[in-house]
Structure 1
Amino acid sequence: MKAYQTQPTDSFASIAKKFSIKDENYLRTFHNLNCSESEVIFNEIPSGTSILIPDDPQFFLEDSGSEDEEDCMNDNYEEETEYNNDSQENNEKETDNSSDQEKQKNNENSSTEHDRKYFVIQKGVVQCNQGFKFPKFKVTSHQKHYWNDADGEAAYLAVTEDDLQFDPPAQPFGQCKLKPSSGGYLPCAYAAAGKWTKTYDKVQVMGKSCVTEISELMCSTGGKITILKHGQQSELGKSNVNNADSKEQQVYNPVVDFEEFKEEINGEDPFEVE
């Protein structure tokens, strides 16, 4: 990291261009995160200000390469082409031999697609690619397990593969695009064609696999029903606030006094006199 003494006509854009930095916003953010609080710049750069310049290659534009390197690449092109042709034939054979192994591996790891996905609860919202409205779930498969709710509120009931009813129950998706008429689309006549698919079979409620954000359900009319909202809400906890860098947050949110916000989150009164 080095410092650059600005001139009266300098801007973040001109300095970024001078030092071949990808974007002026990268330069502005880097400077504001590494300078003292009194040197943070949000608007125009005051003349004579020292701007911190990064030395990490990720901030810079990629070099196009020298002419010598291009000549060398051209000289070796024919040799590489012959080598690549031979390698391609060998790779095709290896691909044929390993295709069965890949299929087996994909089947074994199919559950990993649910990683970092939320489980769906009763107040979750669904959508049909042939409908117009977005109903919520009506859990009927159990009244036992609730996701992230110790009080046992019905809205937090876990949705399983057997939960095929919605709220409202009649015409849950409004009109159906697969049923056009001279007067417009006819009403939805939803009827589930089987159970929910792409469920998480490693987590079950009373023997029924749980529905996640990527689960799908087919309607007998032809529509595909997917999850629009899982129903759970992400909340900012004390640990998230305490682990956040106050200086960095001040750059992103200059209106908020982040240190004061930390004290409020932790239950301390910033105006309390001891």
Structure 2
Amino acid sequence: MSLKEKVVQGAICMCNFGTTPDTLKVLTQSKYYLNDYEGNNKLAATHKDIGQTFEKNTFGPCKMQPTPGGYKPCQAIVTEWSGYYEKEKYSPPDGYILLEDSKATCPIGGKDCIKIIKTGQIGEPSKKNFVNADSELQSHVNPLVDVKNYEKKDPYEFLNAE
């Protein structure tokens, strides 16, 4: 699993035979959250999240279903996931956590036709991140913020000097 992100609700997925991405919904559990400060948005996705588990349940026109006027609309249905992390299991639903390189199977598109584009995880810096930050490195990356004195100074101090 070295340095692979776990997948959460809100992950962006795409089918090899579709034209538009769709957003993953976690419907199998409501207990386990990842990378979510409030603990109310980023449910952990597992290999048990199958069926119609996307917000729109479509990836646009399906290139596997041609018609005389174009293509039939996709009806995204996940029958199974592959590439999940078998050393981390959430119970219920007795599901293994999905990783950024996990893939889903659709009965029309075939095995592993749905891939994860973005895992849904978002970095949320905390006070501890500022305390542990390398101030010299940060001064090169973001010269407008003095990380060492970030908590000590009033950012609007120059406005009150009048």
Q: Under TM normalisation by the shorter chain, which class is it?
A: 0.7 to 0.9
Q: Distance in 2 between matches of 1:190 and 1:251?
A: 46
The gaps in structure 1 that reach 5 residues or longer are 1-113
Letter in 1 for 2:81: W
Displacement of 1:245: 3.9
- Cα displacement string for residues 72-105 of structure 1 (whole angstroms, at most 9, x for unaligned residues): xxxxxxxxxxxxxxxxxxxxxxxxxxxxxxxxxx
Which fold has the larger relative contact order, with Cα–Cα distance below 8 Å and residues 6 or more apart in sequence? 2
Q: Distance in 1 between matches of 2:125 and 2:37?
A: 19
Letter in 2 for 1:244: D
- Pick closer, same or farther for the CA change 1:201–1:187 going to 2, 3 Å: same
The gaps in structure 2 that reach 5 residues or longer are none
**Which residue of 2 is the match for residue 163 of structure 1?**
49
- After TM superposition, the score normalised by the length of structure 2 is 0.78
Q: Distance in 2 between matches of 1:210 and 1:177?
A: 30
Displacement of 1:191: 3.0
Q: Distance in 2 between matches of 1:198 and 1:257?
A: 42
- Cα displacement string for residues 24-75 of structure 1 (whole angstroms, at most 9, x for unaligned residues): xxxxxxxxxxxxxxxxxxxxxxxxxxxxxxxxxxxxxxxxxxxxxxxxxxxx
Letter in 2 for 1:205: Y
- Cα displacement string for residues 170-201 of structure 1 (whole angstroms, at most 9, x for unaligned residues): xx1111111223311221133333x2111111
| Rg larger for | 1
**Which residue of 1 is the match for residue 65 of structure 2?**
179
The number of residue pairs the alignment matches comes to 150
Displacement of 1:234: 1.8
Displacement of 1:237: 4.2
Letter in 2 for 1:228: I
Displacement of 1:262: 3.7
Does residue 199 (structure 1) correspond to residue 62 (structure 2)? The answer is: no
Displacement of 1:151: 3.6
Normalized per residue, the structure richer in strand is 2
SS at match of 2:149: helix
Q: How does 1:9-20 map to 2 (within 5 A)?
A: none
Say which of 80, 102, 112 aligns to 1:215: 102
Letter in 1 for 2:73: P
- Pick closer, same or farther for the CA change 1:251–1:156 going to 2, 3 Å: closer
Displacement of 1:250: 4.1
Normalized per residue, the structure richer in helix is 1
Assess if the C-alpha contact under 8 Å between 1:189 and 1:221 holds in 2.
no
- Pick closer, same or farther for the CA change 1:215–1:166 going to 2, 3 Å: same
Say which of 128, 134, 144 aligns to 2:21: 134
Instruction: Give the alignment's Cα RMSD to 1 decimal.
Output: 2.4
- After TM superposition, the score normalised by the length of structure 1 is 0.49
Letter in 2 for 1:196: W
Q: Distance in 1 between matches of 2:138 and 2:31?
A: 42
Displacement of 1:136: 1.2
Letter in 2 for 1:227: I
- Pick closer, same or farther for the CA change 1:199–1:267 going to 2, 3 Å: farther
Q: Distance in 2 between matches of 1:175 and 1:150?
A: 37
Q: Percent identity?
A: 33
SS at match of 2:124: coil
Q: Distance in 2 between matches of 1:251 and 1:210?
A: 37
**Which residue of 1 is the match for residue 124 of structure 2?**
235
Letter in 1 for 2:47: E
